[in-house]
Amino acid sequence: MPKEHTIEIDGHRHVSFQLDRLEPAAMAAKSEAFYQWLDTRRSVREFTSEPVAKAVIENIIKSASTAPSGAHKQPWTFCAISDPLLKKQIRIAAEAEEKESYESRMSERWKDDLKPMATNMYKPFLEEAPWLIIVCKRAYELDAEGNKHNNYYVNESVGIACGMLITAIHNAGLVTLTHTPSPMNFLTNILNRPKNERAYLLLPVGYPKQPVYVPDLERKGLDG
Ligand code: IYR
């Protein structure tokens, strides 16, 4: 590794950055292998309660936190929950919202589109998975005087971090599912989050039940 150099720009420290370049053949092989491996990721709805080490969940969250964000404000909070009582509380509240959604908020067309996914208003994985990661977005930060400072490109930043989180979960040999109960206010209430935070996505993390079946889906190719 070459030695790191630092310079000042507008009074801010910058460090030299060295890219590890790959030879074209290695680049082609590595990018192909990464794609093949990423393509083995599947959303799974049925989890075992087999435990997963907290240190692994922490590594996954640290990986997601390497995401780029608007003005590097890192407008996210990852809440990792393994407490059975808290998971139960979340399941009860999520299922109440889902019942309302499936019975009156979602159009018939939406429910038809979901049929291949075999999903419904019951969310046992919220109790069965060893961990729930609830990603919260932070619309603004409060300074010491209580003044609001808006963050930038919050949805884009948190969305990118979630993509990296899902990739890190796959890399750890675990599975997840992007669960989107709507509205999600109940999560920030149950978790006692500050008022600058809104729940963005809920991801159960763990091992799939065996045997487990997933929908036989095709992915878009380069031609759409
Ligand atoms: N939020 C509901 C409905 C749902 C919506 C989409 I888009 C899905 O891909 C799957 C489900 C639920 O979680 O059941």
pLDDT 10s digits, 78-117? 999 999 999 999 999 999 999 999 999 999 999 999 999 9
Per-residue pLDDT band at 2 (split at 50, 70, 90): low
Q: Is the CB of 22 under 6 A from ligand 1?
A: no
Q: Is the CB of 118 under 6 A from ligand 1?
A: no
Whether the CB-CB separation of 165 and 76 falls below 8 Å is answered with no
What confidence score (pLDDT) does residue 138 get? 98
H helical segments located in the chain:
24-38, 54-64, 84-100, 108-114, 125-128, 154-171, 185-190
Residues whose CB is less than 8 angstroms from the CB of residue 144 and which lie 6 or more positions away in sequence, other chains included: none
Closest atom, ligand 1, to C-alpha of 180? 1
Whether the CB-CB separation of 79 and 57 falls below 8 Å is answered with no
Rounded distance between C-alpha atoms, residue 196 and residue 134, angstroms: 15
Tell me which residue has its CA closest to atom 11 in ligand 1: 119
pTM of the model: 0.96
Q: Is the CB of 117 under 6 A from ligand 1?
A: yes
For residue range 173-185, list pLDDT tens digits in order.
Answer: 999 999 988 899 9
What does the block give as tokens for 144?
């010491």
Rounded distance between C-alpha atoms, residue 52 and residue 54, angstroms: 6
Q: Is the CB of 98 under 6 A from ligand 1?
A: yes
Q: Is the CB of 180 under 6 A from ligand 1?
A: yes
The answer, yes or no, to whether residue 3 has pLDDT greater than 90, is no
What's the rounded mean pLDDT across residues 35-43? 98
The answer, yes or no, to whether residue 160 has pLDDT greater than 80, is yes
For tokens 């969310």, name the residue: 123
Rounded distance between C-alpha atoms, residue 73 and residue 150, angstroms: 10
